[in-house]
Amino acid sequence: MGKPMISLFPSERHDHSACVDAALAQARDVCREQGGRLTPQRQQILELVWQEHKPVGAYALLERLREAGIKAAPPTVYRALEFLLGHGLIHRIESLNAYTGCTAPGTPHHGQFLVCSQCQRVAELDEPSISGELDRSARQFGFEIERQTVEICGLCPRCRGNHHD
Amino acid sequence: MGKPMISLFPSERHDHSACVDAALAQARDVCREQGGRLTPQRQQILELVWQEHKPVGAYALLERLREAGIKAAPPTVYRALEFLLGHGLIHRIESLNAYTGCTAPGTPHHGQFLVCSQCQRVAELDEPSISGELDRSARQFGFEIERQTVEICGLCPRCRGNHHD
DNA sequence: GATGGAATGTTATAATGTAACAATTATTTC
DNA sequence: GAAATAATTGTTACATTATAACATTCCATC
């Protein structure tokens, strides 16, 4: 009974290197189209953001950079993040002060995020029905939307199953 | 043509002291019902949050407290905010790291916020149609919602009219 | 008026983010 | 190719937001 349940939360043993490769390839395409320079450093930071399907904080990225032997200061990370945000290659999760790879870069979309409070993984949605309702409500009150922040915190399918915290 | 436009953004010269008084009265009711202690300090900070229909940062509140002659440190403010958040008397606007008075304390609701990027004022919605769509989408993906963060940034009706920045 | 729990005071520090200017690297123009 | 220009990165310092830890005070109740 019920519709097939599409999994936005990839399994534990999916081929994650494929995710990363795809993200990097898409990023190169997007930058070529938009005339942005995906420098090695920016690419490396994008790759670090993609290490997991979890949002990463700026200082965690800084830590990872240093572990990779690169001595960097906060502005290095924040500048790369600014570039990546500007080209729609990552999103910022406001409720976590953290950053996550965009799964549909290049295509204009509002991100809507399902954030698991247990495993921290994030799934990105772009449901027209949600955006539509937001648009409708905003219009009703004479409000002109510039940007939507929709972050839904809760339990992902897998963590709902594992009720042994 | 079109529906009457309900104004969620009060006019510049509405009787704001009435807003504050109502908020404080509601807060007292809520605390009585829930068994929370609305101490003078907590009440004062709630009052400061309500000084405008704009979200206020914790350190701005600290500043206002000091202007009121009270020498306080950050934990004083954060503890009061924690109490007020816990009793649903204020909301935190994630995208601004700021706090705003709740317009419907006591009644369970998800806050949905229209935040004006020009005048910074905020209107709180609780549209079942939005929550409903979020619920529906989450359920579709097997996700169990604990908390919704919906913050819509854009131009409020008045600022849309004033195109002379 | 003793006592136990909540609230507040106080100091220090953690976590997140940015300003400002110097140095370098890439790109264009001559 | 060399000079000029623009973009990127390095570096230092600092701003902003938030919390940990422990001492003290307040307050309801016994």
Q: What percent of chain A has pLDDT over 70?
A: 95
**Confidence at B163, pLDDT banded by 50, 70, 90:** low
Q: Is the CB of A75 under 7 A from strand C?
A: yes
Residue of A nearest to B133 (CA): A130
Q: Is the pLDDT of residue B4 over 80?
A: no
Q: How confident is the model over A102-156, as pLDDT tens digits?
A: 999 988 888 899 999 999 999 999 999 999 999 999 999 999 999 999 999 999 9
From the list B6, B136, B143, the residue facing A154 with the nearest CB is B143
CA distance A65 to A132: 40
For residue A142, which residues of chain B lie inside 8 Å, CB to CB? 5, 7, 156-157, 160
At B20 the pLDDT is 95
Q: How confident is the model over A49-87, as pLDDT tens digits?
A: 999 999 999 999 999 999 999 999 999 999 999 999 999
Q: Tell me if B153 and A147 make a contact (CB, 8 A cut-off).
A: yes
Is residue B88 within 8 Å of B106, Cβ to Cβ? yes
**Confidence at A165, pLDDT banded by 50, 70, 90:** very low
CA distance A55 to B96: 19
Q: Is the CB of B60 under 7 A from strand C?
A: no
Tally of CA atoms within 13 A in the half-sphere of A3 that contains its CB: 9
Protein CA at A73 to nucleotide C1' at D4, angstroms: 30
Record the pTM.
0.93
Q: How confident is the model over B110-154, as pLDDT tens digits?
A: 889 999 999 999 999 999 999 999 999 999 999 999 999 999 999
Averaged confidence pLDDT in chain A: 93
CA distance B100 to B54: 7
At A66 the pLDDT is 95
Is residue B104 within 8 Å of B42, Cβ to Cβ? no
Nearest one of B58, B89, B57, B92 to B72, comparing CA atoms: B58
Q: Looking only at Cα atoms, what is the longest distance across chain A?
A: 55
CA distance B148 to A152: 5
Q: Is the CB of B71 under 7 A from strand C?
A: yes
Residue with tokens 């854009």: B154
Q: Which residues pair with B100 in a beta bridge?
A: B91
CA distance A58 to A75: 10
Q: Is the pLDDT of residue B94 over 80?
A: yes
Is residue B92 within 8 Å of B85, Cβ to Cβ? yes
CA distance A138 to A141: 5
- The two tokens of residue A97 are 């002060």
